[in-house]
Amino acid sequence: MSVAVHNPDQYMGSLRQIIAQGRKRIGLLVGAGGPASISAGNGAPLIPTTEDLTRTVLAALNDRYGETLNEIRIELTNPNIENILSHVRTLGSVIGTTKIHSLDAEEYGVLGEAICDEIGKIANQMLPDGVTPYSDVVAWISGTERGHAIEIFTTNYDLLFEQALERAKAPYFDGFTGASEPFFDPSSVANDDLPPRWTRLWKLHGSLGWKTNARREVIRTAESTASHLVFPEHLKYDQTQKAPYAALFDRLRAFLMLPDTLLIVIGFSFVDAHVSSRIDECLSANPSASVFAFQFRVLDQENSACDIASRRANMSVYAPDKAMINGIVAPWLPGDPPTRDWGPIRAGFWDSLPGASAPSFLLGDFKSLARFFAASRSAQVYAVAPAPGSAAAGPTVAS
C-alpha cells in the first residue's frame, strides 16, 4: 500500500524559479509573525505576536479598565486585542449615556484611544541595522527587473517595511500622496498605474502615523502615534474614515482576481475573518490564482489555513512537518538531490533546528523565507517540476 508524501525539493525548486525570474505577478501577505521573527536583543521578539500583544496591552490597562476589559473578553469568541478594540469602538458608537460594563459611550471612546496608545508604544520599533528579514525581502524586490510590481499586504501597524525600503532607496506607494498632510488617494490604489519598480505597500489594519485631521480625513503623518488602527467596523460607508480600509481590502480582492497571480503568506494565522474570507472567496472565483501559506506551527495546529485549503485546491499550506497541497495532507519526504549543487539550496528550506532530532521544513519562519527569497537571485540549477496539473504547487519548470 502506497503512502502519500510531499517532496519539498520539488515544490521549492519551482518556487525558487518563479521568484527569481521577475515575470510573475507576486504578492506577499505578512502577519504578526513577521516582526516577531526578529530579536530585540534581550531574547524577546522585536514586536510580539497578536497573542502576546493582547496580554501586554491588557496588563498595561488593567489598573484602570481591568474589570471592563475582562467582561468584554468573555463576550468575544476570539478575544485578541484587535477584536477587543473593535468591540470597544462599537459600544462607544451606540450606547450613548447608558453604561455597559461600567462605562458609557464617551468613556469607551477614551478606552479605545488608550488601547491604541498602548499598541503604538509596542509597535513603534526601529528596524535593526544590518541584515534582517525585511532587508532580505527588499533586496529580492529591487534586485530583479519586473513586469509587475510586488504588492505587500500586511496586517501589522509597524513601520519596518517602510524603513527597509527607504534604507535601500527603493520607491514604494502606500496609498497616500502629498507633503504637508499626505492624503489617501483611493483612485491611485485601484488603478495601479505606477511603474513596476515601485513596490505597493498596503497596511490593511492601519498604521502608526495614520490619524484623522480636522476635516475628518485620514492622513499620514511623520509621527509614531497610533490613533487610527484596525478596521473600524461601526463606521458608515459614507464616512471618509473608512476610505483607506475599504480601498485596501478592495485592492487585495482585485489582486487575487487577476490571472495567474501568486500570493505568498507568512506569519499569518488565518483567524482574521476579514482577510481569510476575502482570500477564500477570490480563490473560489479565480482558479488561476494561487496562495502559498507558509505556517510556523505544525500542520495539525493550523486549522484555519487548512480549512480554506481543504476547499480550494489552488491554496497550499506548508508547515514544518507536513503540507496540504491540492487538498492532500502528507508528510514531507525529500528525494534524491535533483542536481549535484542542490545541497546548499536544500539547506535553506530543509534542515534540523537546534535541539531537534530530525530535519524539518524551515520556511514557516519569516527569517528563513526572506533569506530563501534573497538567495533566489544566485545562479543555480532548479529542481525537477511538479507533476502536470498540480497548479497549487506552482507552474511547471524545465527539468
pLDDT tens profile 249-291: 999 999 999 999 999 999 999 998 889 999 999 999 999 999 9
| Average pLDDT over the chain, rounded to an integer | 89
Query: 288: Cβ–Cβ under 8 A, 6 or more apart, which residues?
Result: 259, 260, 261, 314, 391
Half-sphere exposure of 149 (CA within 13 A, CB side): 22
Domain shared by 38 and 59, yes or no: no
Q: How many whole angstroms separate alpha carbon 155 and alpha carbon 248?
A: 11
Mean local confidence (pLDDT), 231-236:
50
Domain shared by 135 and 168, yes or no: yes
Domain shared by 352 and 376, yes or no: yes
What pLDDT sits at residue 380?
A: 47
The answer on pLDDT for 123 being more than 80 is yes
What pLDDT sits at residue 275?
A: 94
Q: How confident is the model at residue 355 (pLDDT cuts 50, 70, 90)?
A: confident
Mean local confidence (pLDDT), 53-66:
95
User: Mean pLDDT highest for which of 51-55, 231-235, 305-309?
Assistant: 305-309
Assess if residue 220 is contained within a domain: yes
All three cell numbers of 309, joined, read: 485549503
What pLDDT sits at residue 169?
A: 97
Number of Cβ within 10 Å of residue 173's Cβ equals 18
What pLDDT sits at residue 228?
A: 72
Sign of the dihedral defined by the CA atoms of residues 47, 206, 271, 191, in that order: negative
Domain shared by 76 and 160, yes or no: no
Q: How confident is the model at residue 216 (pLDDT cuts 50, 70, 90)?
A: confident
The answer on pLDDT for 185 being more than 50 is yes
Which residues form the domain of 73? 50-123
Q: How confident is the model at residue 381 (pLDDT cuts 50, 70, 90)?
A: very low
Domain shared by 59 and 204, yes or no: no
Q: How confident is the model at residue 382 (pLDDT cuts 50, 70, 90)?
A: very low
Mean local confidence (pLDDT), 180-188:
92
Taking only the tens place, the pLDDT of each residue in 317-328 is 999 999 999 999
The single-letter code of the amino acid at 233 is E
**If you compute the radius of gyration of the chain from its CA atoms, what whole number of angstroms results?**
22
Nearest alpha-carbon partner for 17 in 378, 392, 391:
378
The answer on pLDDT for 160 being more than 60 is yes
Percentage of residues of the chain with pLDDT beyond 70 = 90
The answer on pLDDT for 234 being more than 80 is no
What pLDDT sits at residue 26?
A: 98
Is 219 within 8 Å of 252 (Cβ atoms)? no
Mean local confidence (pLDDT), 286-313:
97
Mean local confidence (pLDDT), 14-23:
94
Assess if residue 195 is contained within a domain: yes
All three cell numbers of 389, joined, read: 496539473
Percentage of residues of the chain with pLDDT beyond 90 = 74
Assess if residue 196 is contained within a domain: yes
Domain shared by 177 and 285, yes or no: yes
Domain boundary among 100, 123, 146: 123
The 172-173 sheet, strands edge to edge: 172-173, 199-203, 151-154, 25-30, 261-266, 290-294, 315-318, 322-325, 328-331
Domain shared by 83 and 190, yes or no: no
What pLDDT sits at residue 222?
A: 85
Domain shared by 352 and 273, yes or no: yes
Assess if residue 24 is contained within a domain: yes
Assess if residue 394 is contained within a domain: no
The answer on pLDDT for 235 being more than 70 is no
Query: 306: Cβ–Cβ under 8 A, 6 or more apart, which residues?
Result: 299, 317, 324, 329
What pLDDT sits at residue 42?
A: 79
The answer on pLDDT for 1 being more than 60 is no
Domain boundary among 66, 99, 123: 123
Domain shared by 179 and 71, yes or no: no
The answer on pLDDT for 236 being more than 60 is no
Domain shared by 39 and 69, yes or no: no
Assess if residue 283 is contained within a domain: yes
Strand partners, 30: 154, 266
Say how many domains are in the chain. Answer: 2
Is 213 within 8 Å of 227 (Cβ atoms)? no
Domain shared by 236 and 370, yes or no: yes
Q: How many whole angstroms separate alpha carbon 392 and alpha carbon 10?
A: 13
What pLDDT sits at residue 240?
A: 46
Assess if residue 398 is contained within a domain: no
What pLDDT sits at residue 229?
A: 77
Assess if residue 294 is contained within a domain: yes
What pLDDT sits at residue 232?
A: 52
What pLDDT sits at residue 231?
A: 56
Taking only the tens place, the pLDDT of each residue in 360-380 is 999 999 999 999 999 997 754
Range scoring the smallest mean pLDDT among 2-11, 218-227, 249-258, 303-312:
218-227
Domain shared by 30 and 80, yes or no: no
Domain boundary among 105, 123, 141: 123
Mean local confidence (pLDDT), 233-237:
47
The answer on pLDDT for 383 being more than 90 is no
